[in-house]
Amino acid sequence: MIDWLLEPFQHPFNQRALLAALLIGFTNGYASAFVVLKKSALKVGSLSHALLPGIAVAVLLVGLHEWSAFLGALFAALFIGLGSLAVSRGSRLDQDSSLAILYTAAFSGGIILLRRLGVTQQMDEWLFGNIMGLRNGDLWTTFWISFGALGVLTALHRPLLMTLFDSEVAATLGVPIRALNYLLLAVLIVVLISSLQAVGCMLALGLLVTPAATIYLLTDSTSALFWGGSLLGGAASAAAVLIGWHLNLEQGPVIVLVLGAVFLIAFIFSPKYGVLRRAGSHAR
């Protein structure tokens, strides 16, 4: 039994996958608190789908390289996000409607282009992730992205929270609200891109929202939302890698599925906001 449990730790690719899962899950868990507090899950989800066309254009222009996919995804997400803002300001449409139109059109074009380029296998990995295929260079890239994102979000924690909870008061205190909103969006996009190899652009939203959303059902503490989400994201992602190994399942979907299962448990059994708690209150 012990040998069966320890077997995954004996393989270098599993060790890299576990470290990456911890880093990616922890960073996404911390960032997910901002998404939950800002109530912008659907907007961030749209941007996660916008990553694919950027990858397709980058592969077309410079070929398939380690950094081409990353930079292409970053450019596409920023372009779609800012483009939706420009369309909403220049027409009667709201930003959510503009974003939905732009990202679905771009996503469709990205799929067609990647199929024409003959990178179908890589496309599946970009869509659903392949954390077991991480190389040492990929792991270092994940580390620096996670380190940078966590550093920025932690350093600007207080002003960011002020813009989320009371933007008018923050403005009177001289907080650059618009600049911070753009910066937060940019950091969330980078975090999404760092998750590509783990869960792919189709499932990245689940990893970026579920950890803090689960903690949100358990406590009213804002600090617990950030650090609890981080610990849950890292632990669930690492556990999912081990579960996927032992059950011969793809780790990307398992990561999101494990997080979804924990969320369901909190939704039902939360001592403060769970379904059973509310049902008991109504019965009394």
Distance separating alpha carbons of residues 14 and 210, to the nearest angstrom:
24
Q: Report the pLDDT value the prediction gives residue 176, as an integer from 0 to 100.
A: 87
Q: Where are the alpha helices (DSSP H) in the chain?
A: 2-6, 12-38, 41-49, 51-62, 66-89, 95-117, 120-128, 136-155, 157-165, 167-172, 177-194, 196-216, 222-247, 251-269, 275-283
Residue with token string 């960011």? 160
Q: Are 201 and 51 contacting, i.e. CB atoms less than 8 angstroms apart?
A: yes
CA-nearest of 201, 12, 185 to 123 is 201
Distance separating alpha carbons of residues 75 and 203, to the nearest angstrom:
20
CA-nearest of 120, 128, 67 to 250 is 128
Q: Are 242 and 254 contacting, i.e. CB atoms less than 8 angstroms apart?
A: no
The per-residue pLDDT for range 91-121, each reduced to its tens digit, is 777 777 777 788 788 888 888 887 777 766 6
The per-residue pLDDT for range 112-147, each reduced to its tens digit, is 887 777 766 666 777 777 888 878 877 888 888 889
Helix, coil or strand: residue 195: coil
Q: Report the pLDDT value the prediction gives residue 260, as an integer from 0 to 100.
A: 93
Both tokens of 208, joined, read 């970026």
Both tokens of 9, joined, read 């730790």
CA dist 46 to 76, 77, 129, Å?
A: 12, 9, 17
Q: At what angle do helices 177-194 and 136-155 cross, to 10 degrees?
A: 160
Distance separating alpha carbons of residues 62 and 33, to the nearest angstrom:
36
237 compared with 137, residue with greater pLDDT: 237
The per-residue pLDDT for range 44-63, each reduced to its tens digit, is 777 777 777 787 787 777 76
Both tokens of 68, joined, read 């081409």
Distance separating alpha carbons of residues 250 and 228, to the nearest angstrom:
26
Quote the Cα angle for 105-106-109, to 5°: 90
Q: Give the pTM.
A: 0.85
Mean pLDDT of 6-30: 85
